[in-house]
Amino acid sequence: MQLNVILFVILIVFALANEQPDIKKQAAHGHKTPEFDQEQFLGPDEKKEESGMSKEEATKKLEKIFVKVDVNGDGEIDKPEMTEWIMKISKKFVEKDTNISWNDHHVPEGHDLTWDLFLKLYHNDNPHATEDIHKNNLDREGKRWKAADKNKDGNLNKEEFAAFLHPEEFDYMRELLTAEAMQEMDKNKDNFIDMEEYMSDMGIDAEHKENSEWIEEEKKTFKEKRDKNQDGKMDFDELKDWIAPPHNLHASEETDHLFKESDDNKDKLLSREEVFNHHELFSSSHATDFGREYENHDEL
């Protein structure tokens, strides 16, 4: 199924930082792709190394990861272990990406990132942007900056910068994420998301006739799950529950999905055999150009 990820104008300097949120947005839309599942279980770097591996090699790789997820060493993965693993993978990605971006800004040792220093790199990376583009970009980034600035000193320490880059990982940024989504999706500016606006965000306009089964499925989802008070539209809180669920809820929901697809005997545990039998769910050899961090580092 094709998903229409909410279209924000993304600063070039933050392109990498926004890869993972896009994948998570797919999950928020209620559609888990194989790539999403693989990245949640393996992590972006571990998933990258899967590229080009034979099934036998990938199985050995999964065995190593299985042992790490199976914290109590009983030979099976339960839901709390899987949820904790997914959150650990996500935290690792955020920390690594934040460090890269922090270093790109050349923040002096012992100092926080200032707005002026941020602007310097932004303008260097966007020399040909028009005045309107600059205004739109910086207006959005300015609002995100203020939301991430937890201690309200005008600057961002590294943890606050992580929230700026990856707001989906920080519960105190949920309001900001929802406001961004509302601004993008609410075409008639009535502060609600109606069925037409919802379907448009899913990539379906009024004359779209392809994949009618999916269209009906999404209409049903809107009526039964998104519009909780059944008034025909999503208000801010309903949009927040969809777009920006609590971080631990995201991990829990992904765990439920993985178990639903791979727990063949329905005992609420994943055995080695079940993980290996559902190799394509957890890892894939069709992704290309991935790194080798798992071989070089044992950080998890």
Number of domains within the chain? 1
Query: What distance lies between CA 183 and its chain's CA centroid?
Result: 19
Average pLDDT over residues 227-254: 92
Specify if 183 maps to a domain.
yes
What pLDDT shows up at residue 122?
79
What confidence tens digit (pLDDT) does each residue in 4-16 have? 332 222 222 233 3
Residues 51, 276 contacting (CB under 8 angstroms) = no
Q: How far apart are CA 244 and CA 250, in angstroms?
A: 9
**Is residue 68 in a domain?**
yes
Asked, for residue 4, whether it belongs to a domain, the answer is no
205 domain residue, yes or no: no
The share of the chain scoring above pLDDT 70, in percent, equals 73
Phi-psi region of 52 (alpha: psi -120 to 50; beta: other; left: phi over 0): left
| Assessment of whether the complete model's pTM goes beyond 0.75 | no
pLDDT digits (tens, 9 = 90+) for 192-218: 999 999 999 988 765 555 667 888 999
Residue span of the structural domain in which 88 resides: 12-191+235-280
Residue 226 lies in a domain: no
Maximum Cα–Cα distance across the chain: 60
**Residue 144 lies inside a defined structural domain of this protein:** yes
Bridge partners of 113? 156
Tokens of 75: 């030979």
The answer to the question of residue 87 being in a domain is yes
Q: Of 299 and 71, which is predicted with more confidence?
A: 71
* Residue 141 in domain: yes
Which tens digit of pLDDT belongs to each residue from 115-158?
999 998 877 766 776 778 878 888 999 999 999 999 999 999 99
pLDDT in tens, 50-77: 455 677 777 788 888 889 999 999 999 9
Measured CA to CA, the distance from residue 63 to residue 276 in angstroms comes to 8
